[in-house]
Each structure stands twice: as C-alpha cells, then as structure tokens.
Amino acid sequence: MTNQSQLCPKFEKAMSILSKRWTGLVVYQLLRGSQRFCEIEASIGISGRLLSDRLKHLENEGMVKRDVYPETPIRIEYSLTEKGRALEPLMNELEQWSKTWIDEKEAVQR
C-alpha cells in the first residue's frame, strides 16, 4: 500500500499531545482552576516523577502556566493558559461520550 498520509499535521500534533498518558487528565483537572503540584498529584493518581514531566511538557506547549509563591513552605500554582482552557469543549464532549457509552462495569476501578 503506497498511500500517503492525508492527516493534517496540526491535527496530528494535537492528537499526540492528548494521546500521551496523563496529559489529558492534568488538563482536565486544571479546568477546575489553578492548583498546586501535590493537589494534582493526589486528584488524578499520577506519580510525582511523571507529573513533573507532564507539567514541563504542557508548559513548553504553552498550555500551562507556573507561578511561584515564595511562602513557607513554598507554593507553586499551575494553571491553564487560554490555549489550555480552549480544550474545555472537548473535555465536555468526552464527559458526555463516557456517560453514554461506558458502563459501570468497564469503568476504571478504584
């Protein structure tokens, strides 16, 4: 099959961001408002090692902003940029889809 790819490079890039594990959940969680490292860590169950990596990645993509408050102990708040917040409609779509098409039994256990 010699078919060339017809995929839009921008779309492909967008999908590559979303299809990296944890990244979508971090964005979803930050849609609730700015949060600190340990809050995100606890809320989605990611390890510190990977959360650190994903936040850096999202910062590089211009989707997340990092604010340092030199209190004691230090407080660092992460929040979405406009680019990040623009994924809200997509997240709502995914919520709707999951409510309609995923049943309790196959959902993630905790």
Partner DNA sequence: TTAATTAATTACTTTTCGTAAGTAAGTATA
Partner DNA sequence: TATACTTACTTACGAAAAGTAATTAATTAA
Tell me, what DSSP letter sits at residue 104?
A: G
Q: What is the b/e burial string over 34-72, where b = at least 16 CB atoms within 10 angstroms of the residue's CB?
A: ebebeebbeeeebeeeebeebbebbeeeebbbeeeeeee
Pick between residue 42 and residue 74 the one whose CB is nearest to a second copy. Answer: 42
Instruction: Show contacts with DNA in window 22-61 (CB under 7 A).
Output: 22, 36-38, 46-50, 52-53, 55-56
When asked if residue 109 is in the footprint of a second copy (CB under 8 A), the reply is yes
Strand residues in 1-74 grouped as ranges (E): 35-36, 64-69
Residue 105 partner contact from DNA, a second copy, none using kind-dependent CB cut-offs of 5 to 8 Å: none
**Do residues 31 and 88 lie in contact, with contact meaning Cβ atoms separated by under 8 Å?**
yes
Residue 89 partner contact from DNA, a second copy, none using kind-dependent CB cut-offs of 5 to 8 Å: a second copy
Site string for a second copy, 45-84 (x = CB under 8 A): x---------------x---------------------x-
